[in-house]
Amino acid sequence: MKVTVTVNGGEVAAEVADRTLLVHFLRDVAGLTATNVGCDTSSCGACTVLLDGRSVKSCTVLAAQADGRQVTTVEGLSSGSEELHPVQQAFRAEHGLQCGFCTPGMVMASVSLLAENPSPTEDEVRSALEGNLCRCTGYHNIVRAVLAAASERRPS
């Protein structure tokens, strides 16, 4: 089947098998490898992307379900500029990563959270990131990064 998806602002079209998952479409067809395959069971969140602005685990979405829709991956956050997205900047400043495997999914889930709730509490951040697993950091710095990004976005 032919699938056409707008990925990070550009159209990506390809013939794919009906069972092709969005995560594999992004990695294998679009060549965007920051979206990681961590578990294939929706348990880890390493594959989290924005689908029409809302976070989804791309291992649970068929490429066909994304046909005609917009996907944003971590590569698309900076809009082609050299400057990092505020959430990426906060993860860097607050040391919210170690090995980096979960980071793209954590960043995308955080971007989605802050779009829906620009001033979350620590408990709300922890709840929103519940479906994203990190095996390295213990989450404290990740939560601090999201809270820092939220405070940066607030008008003074």
CA-to-CA distance for 82 and 98, rounded, in angstroms?
22
pLDDT at res. 106: 96
Between 152 and 75, residue with greater pLDDT = 75
Q: Are strands 2-7 and 70-72 parallel, antiparallel or unpaired?
A: parallel
92-113, pLDDT tens digit by residue? Answer: 999 998 888 999 999 999 999 9
pLDDT at res. 156: 47
pLDDT at res. 152: 81
111-125, pLDDT tens digit by residue? Answer: 999 999 999 999 999
Is the full-model pTM beyond 0.75?
Answer: yes
In the chain, the domains with their CATH numbers are: 2-76 (3.10.20.30), 86-153 (1.10.150.120)
pLDDT at res. 60: 95
9-33, pLDDT tens digit by residue? Answer: 999 999 999 999 999 999 999 999 9
pLDDT at res. 82: 77
Who's near 81: CB < 8 A, 6+ residues apart?
none
